[in-house]
Amino acid sequence: GLPTLPRLSLNSPLALTGPVLVALPCLLAALLGLNTYAPYGADAAFGIAVGAAAVVAMAQTLILAARPPLVEPLFGGLDRMYRVHKWLGISAMVLMILHQQIEPDFERLVRETSLGELGEEAGELAFNALLALVAVSWFRRLPFTPLEIPYQIWRFSHRFMGALFAIVVFHQFFVDMPAGVDPTFMLVLNAFGIAGVVAWIFTELLAPHLRRRDFTVTEISQTKDTTTLTLRPEGRAMRWRPGQFAFFRAPEAGLSEPHPFTIASAPRPDGTLTFCIRGLGGWTRSLPAILRTGTRVQVEGPYGRFNFRKGGARQIWLAGGIGITPFLAWAESLSEADSRDIHLIHCVRTQEEAIGVETLRAAAARNPRFSFEVVVTTRDGRLTAERLIGAVPFAIRQADLWFCGPTGLKDGILKGLKAQGQTPRRVRFEQFEFT
């Protein structure tokens, strides 16, 4: 299953900390720019302010793209962190356009140098190129059409962001500016510029060697359009919590682009892990034909903070299609001593699409407080709020609802529960779009 960018939900008290922390430096840079260049006129001060905020926003997109593990909890998970990363990039694009339209004119106030002219030309070049790349990222799916930029092209173009940002940093270092202004503003701006470039270099050159672990495919099975892979670690095993996801790539088989998938198994003594990958595109559909037992692959992770053990004593697990994967890991991790009352409902279109039923049966046999059912929509009809209320063996208003699946299923169920006066105590979820 593809873990995705959820809407902002307060899964932890830290959920808003990350967004606030990235917004404050942008605001600080803008205020410093306004204050520093106010003597040169309102237009000049505003143009500098929005340009400074754009630089800081772009630097932070590159810092977040490096996936710093200590920062992830401040956003409530990597998925939410990437959502902030996306909107930082869009904000930087808007601010760059404003800076371009209100470009400060200091020609009569500075002594022009050849290096300064080069910096100005470099800034113009980087502005146009960054504008194009951010637009590609923003409109990966073309509005009102089924057309979509292939993931490989999208990711390849995305990797140039850092190089273009380095040109922007060159621009801010060397463009000719009036002498005698307070240096604090440029110190802040240069610090963020250097940090962004360093983060990009780390992401492109160092992280692939430091973070990826080698695994070997030991088992491959196919259930309708879902491929299940069992991987054995080569060397030090990876530690993860049930519900987390990791980035998977198989360069030996020609699949060098990393894709994120939920780990569909709980941690095991031998370090093996399982991915259940539904064929949703060319890359994922090619897996069963390309991968073989013995193929060496690479896994980077784990990421995510989707953890039912932070929930209450009564829980509803609702899965739509391949959204069952985190719940399979959770079910496998249940022991006889777990005291939570849990009912899982797995919605699939056909019986053949139901995966991991054996894992769920074993969990139910091991722990009498865990129960589950599979709703086959072609046979049973669509799941409704009324049916959910009747199926759950405890009061929904006193329970947490954990969801992973299509947004339409979640929204329909929650709307129906609200109409019935049965809104869950808390709702926690993942979606299906990562980029």
Model pLDDT for residues 181-217, shown as the tens digit of each residue: 778 888 999 999 999 999 999 998 898 888 899 999 9
- Cα separation, 245 vs 430, in Å, equals 11
Domain presence at residue 376: yes
User: Are 164 and 277 in a shared domain?
Assistant: no
Domain presence at residue 4: no
pLDDT confidence of residue 10: 43
pLDDT confidence of residue 343: 97
pLDDT tens, 277-307? 998 878 888 898 899 999 999 999 899 889 9
Does the structure show a pLDDT above 50 at 9?
A: no
User: Are 156 and 240 in a shared domain?
Assistant: no
Domain presence at residue 8: no
State the residue range of the domain holding 420. 308-429
Domain holding 347: CATH number?
3.40.50.80
Give me the residue label for tokens 């894709």: 259
Does the structure show a pLDDT above 80 at 372?
A: yes
Instruction: Give percent of the chain with pLDDT exceeding 90.
Output: 52
Does the structure show a pLDDT above 60 at 142?
A: no
Number of domains in the chain: 3
User: Are 62 and 202 in a shared domain?
Assistant: yes
Q: Residues 234, 244, 342, 378: what is their CA dihedral angle, to the nearest 10 degrees?
A: -90
Q: Among 38-52, 76-90, 170-184, 385-399, whose mean pLDDT is lowest? A: 170-184
User: Are 176 and 226 in a shared domain?
Assistant: no
User: Are 26 and 162 in a shared domain?
Assistant: yes
Q: How many C-alpha atoms does 80 have within 13 Å on its Cβ side?
A: 27
Domain presence at residue 261: yes
CB-based contact 75:209 (threshold 8 Å): no
- Cα separation, 296 vs 255, in Å, equals 11
Domain presence at residue 154: yes
Strand runs labelled E in 263-313: 273-278, 296-303
The band of 141, judged by pLDDT with boundaries at 50, 70 and 90, is: low
User: Are 333 and 282 in a shared domain?
Assistant: no
pLDDT confidence of residue 209: 84
User: Are 205 and 217 in a shared domain?
Assistant: no
Mapped onto helix, strand or coil, the DSSP state of residue 263 is: strand
DSSP bridge partners of 62: none
The band of 7, judged by pLDDT with boundaries at 50, 70 and 90, is: very low
Domain presence at residue 3: no
Tokens of 358: 């054996």
pLDDT tens, 229-245? 999 999 888 999 999 99
- Cα separation, 383 vs 376, in Å, equals 9
C-alpha dihedral sign at 106, 112, 117, 118: negative
Does the structure show a pLDDT above 50 at 270?
A: yes
The band of 332, judged by pLDDT with boundaries at 50, 70 and 90, is: very high
The last residue of one of the domains, among 303, 329, 360, is: 303
User: Are 281 and 363 in a shared domain?
Assistant: no
DSSP bridge partners of 233: 215
Name, in order, each residue with C-beta under 8 angstroms of 29's C-beta and a sequence gap of 6 or more. 49, 52, 53, 55, 56, 185, 188, 189, 192
The last residue of one of the domains, among 209, 236, 255, is: 209
Q: What is the mean pLDDT of the chain?
A: 85
Complete edge-to-edge strand list for the sheet that includes strand 255-262: 255-262, 245-250, 296-303, 212-223, 226-233, 273-278
Cα angle at 167 between 161 and 168, to 5 degrees?
A: 85
The band of 96, judged by pLDDT with boundaries at 50, 70 and 90, is: confident
CB-based contact 237:324 (threshold 8 Å): no
Give me the residue label for tokens 């797995």: 346
Q: Residues 372, 6, 428, 414: what is their CA dihedral angle, to the nearest 10 degrees?
A: -80
CB-based contact 164:62 (threshold 8 Å): no
Domain presence at residue 256: yes
pLDDT confidence of residue 165: 87
User: Are 156 and 67 in a shared domain?
Assistant: yes
Domain holding 220: CATH number?
2.40.30.10
pLDDT confidence of residue 239: 93
Domain presence at residue 57: yes
Cα of first residue to Cα of last residue in the chain, in angstroms, is 14
Name, in order, each residue with C-beta under 8 angstroms of 190's C-beta and a sequence gap of 6 or more. 169, 172, 173
User: Are 346 and 379 in a shared domain?
Assistant: yes
The last residue of one of the domains, among 303, 331, 366, is: 303
DSSP bridge partners of 74: none
What does the radius of gyration of the chain's CA atoms come to, in whole angstroms?
25
Kind of pairing between the strands at 296-303 and 245-250 = antiparallel
User: Are 200 and 52 in a shared domain?
Assistant: yes
- Cα separation, 421 vs 273, in Å, equals 41
- Cα separation, 194 vs 169, in Å, equals 7
Instruction: Give percent of the chain with pLDDT exceeding 70.
Output: 85
Residue 304 zone, left/alpha/beta (φ > 0; ψ -120 to 50; rest) = left
Q: Is residue 25 reached through a cis peptide bond, with omega within 30 degrees of 0 on the bond before it?
A: no
Q: How many C-alpha atoms does 218 have within 13 Å on its Cβ side?
A: 12
The band of 125, judged by pLDDT with boundaries at 50, 70 and 90, is: confident
The band of 140, judged by pLDDT with boundaries at 50, 70 and 90, is: low
Distances (CA, A) of 369 to 40, 318, 373: 71, 16, 14
pLDDT tens, 397-433? 999 999 999 888 999 999 999 999 999 999 998 654 5
User: Are 366 and 423 in a shared domain?
Assistant: yes
CB-based contact 308:251 (threshold 8 Å): no
pLDDT confidence of residue 158: 74
pLDDT confidence of residue 435: 43
DSSP string, 92-139: HHHHHHHHHHT----TTTS---HHHHHHHHHHHHHHHHHHHHHHHHHT
The band of 2, judged by pLDDT with boundaries at 50, 70 and 90, is: very low
